[in-house]
Structure 1
Amino acid sequence: MKAFLKFDFNVLTKKVLEQKLGEIGLNPIILSFGEVEFLENISAEKMKEMTVLLNEFGIEIIENQKSILVQKIKDTITEMVNSEEPLSVKSSVYLTEKLNHSYGYLSNLFSEVTYTSIENFIIIQKIELAKNLIINNQLTLTEIAFKLNYSSVAHLSTQFKNITGITPSAFQRIIAKRRLNTFN
Structure 2
Amino acid sequence: MTLHLKYDLSQTYKSVIEFVLKNLSIDYYLVNLNEIRLKEALDLAQKVELQEQLSLFNISIVDDQKLSLVQRVKLLINFYLEHKEVQTKNVSDYLSEELDYSYAYLSSLFSEATYSSIESFIILRRVEMAKDLLLKTDKSLTEIAFDLNYSSVAHLSSQFKKTTGLTPSAFQRIIQKRNSINPN
The separation in 1 between residues aligned to 2:36 and 2:136, in whole angstroms, is 31
Q: Which amino acid aligns with 1:80?
A: Y
Unmatched segments (≥5 aa) in structure 2: none
Q: Please, what TM-score do these two structures have when normalized by structure 1?
A: 0.87
Contact 1:77 1:122 in 2 (8 A): yes
Report the equivalent of 2:65.
65
Contact 1:86 1:148 in 2 (8 A): no
Q: Please, what TM-score do these two structures have when normalized by structure 2?
A: 0.87
Contact 1:86 1:147 in 2 (8 A): no
Report the equivalent of 1:111.
111
Report the equivalent of 2:158.
158
The separation in 1 between residues aligned to 2:172 and 2:28, in whole angstroms, is 41
Percent identity between the aligned chains? 45
Contact 2:34 2:68 in 1 (8 A): no
Map Cα deviations across residues 6-32 of structure 1 (whole Å, 9 max, x no partner).
444333323322223322223554443
SS of the residue 1:13 aligns to: helix
Report the equivalent of 2:97.
97
Which structure ranks higher in relative contact order (CA pairs < 8 Å, sequence separation ≥ 6)? 1
Q: Cα gap change, 1:166/1:67 in structure 2, threshold over 3 Å: closer, same or farther?
A: same
Q: Which amino acid aligns with 2:167?
A: T
Q: Cα gap change, 1:157/1:10 in structure 2, threshold over 3 Å: closer, same or farther?
A: same
Deviation at 1:84, TM superposition (A): 3.9
Query: CA RMSD for the aligned pairs?
Result: 2.2
Deviation at 1:173, TM superposition (A): 2.2
Contact 1:2 1:182 in 2 (8 A): no
| Range with greater deviation from structure 2 (6-15 or 71-80) | 6-15
Aligned length, in residue pairs:
184
Report the equivalent of 1:33.
33
The separation in 1 between residues aligned to 2:27 and 2:114, in whole angstroms, is 32
2:137 is the alignment partner of 1:172: no
Q: Cα gap change, 1:85/1:142 in structure 2, threshold over 3 Å: closer, same or farther?
A: farther
Unmatched segments (≥5 aa) in structure 1: none
| Range with greater deviation from structure 2 (40-49 or 88-97) | 40-49
The separation in 1 between residues aligned to 2:163 and 2:90, in whole angstroms, is 22
